[in-house]
Amino acid sequence: MSITIRQAQPQDAHAVVPLIIDAIGEIANRLTGEQSSEAVRQELTTLFQRDDNRHSYLNTYVATEDEQIVGILVYYYGAHAIAMDANLVKWLEAKNAPSIIIDHEAHEDEAYIDTVCVTPEARGKGIGTLLLQYAEELTKQHGYTKLSLNVETQKEDARRLYERLGFVITEPWSIIDEPFHHMVKQF
């Protein structure tokens, strides 16, 4: 298995957007202001191809195998999320979408793993772990000392994986009124 990880490009939307939707589920409806799966996909593609929000290609890294995208990492800094989320709210308001409040998902002094997802056919090959390790490298390169993520409280297998990789639960967290564990790895 020869996996490479690179910065996403706007033209990667066809492969990346379905993985974002797979990972975040109904949250995609809220972030796009849409209900039908086709409209959600179209609007998330628009957001991905823009440069001013959390699901932008600029915050996305792709794992490729034989030039096929097999996994994604959406990663940014907590301090940048405030402006990105304000841009998202303005975009939703401009299209008359239901108004939403976007929950903060990280502290301002943390690098943050928003989304990790691997294609169904590539799961079990360690690609998710490679993406998490890549996030660690980015965090260290940029001089941050904390890398965080949130995991739903009922996802015990995922929590155990993150703990094996050195993340610890630091506090309870709530995203769209759902309970999560906020986990942090310090360097």
Could you tell me how far CA 140 lies from the centroid of its own chain? 19
- Would you say residue 52 has pLDDT above 90? yes
**Residue 2 to residue 23: CA distance in whole angstroms:** 24
Cα within 13 Å of Cα(3), Cβ side:
21
Other beta carbons within 10 Å of 111: 26
Nearest-CA neighbor of 116 among 104, 133, 101, 103? 133
**What pLDDT is recorded for position 7?**
98
For the chain, the first-to-last Cα distance in angstroms comes to 29
Compute the average pLDDT of residues 26-52. Answer: 95
Range of the domain at 158: 1-184
Segment 51-63 mean pLDDT? 97
* pLDDT of 176 strictly over 90: no
Question: So what's the pLDDT on residue 101?
Answer: 81
Q: Residue 1: its pLDDT value, please?
A: 65
Place 80 in a pLDDT band, splitting at 50, 70 and 90. Answer: very high
Query: For residue 15, which of 52, 73, 62 has the smallest C-alpha distance?
Result: 62
Q: Which residues contact 141 (CB under 8 A, 6 or more apart)?
A: none
pTM exceeding the 0.85 threshold for the entire prediction: yes
If one counts the domains in the chain, the total is 1
Residue 26: is its pLDDT beyond 90?
no
CATH number for position 154: 3.40.630.30
For residues 176 and 86, give the distance between their C-alpha atoms in angstroms, rounded to a whole number.
17
pLDDT digits (tens, 9 = 90+) for 94-144: 998 877 788 899 999 999 999 999 999 999 999 999 999 999 999 999 999
DSSP code of residue 105: -
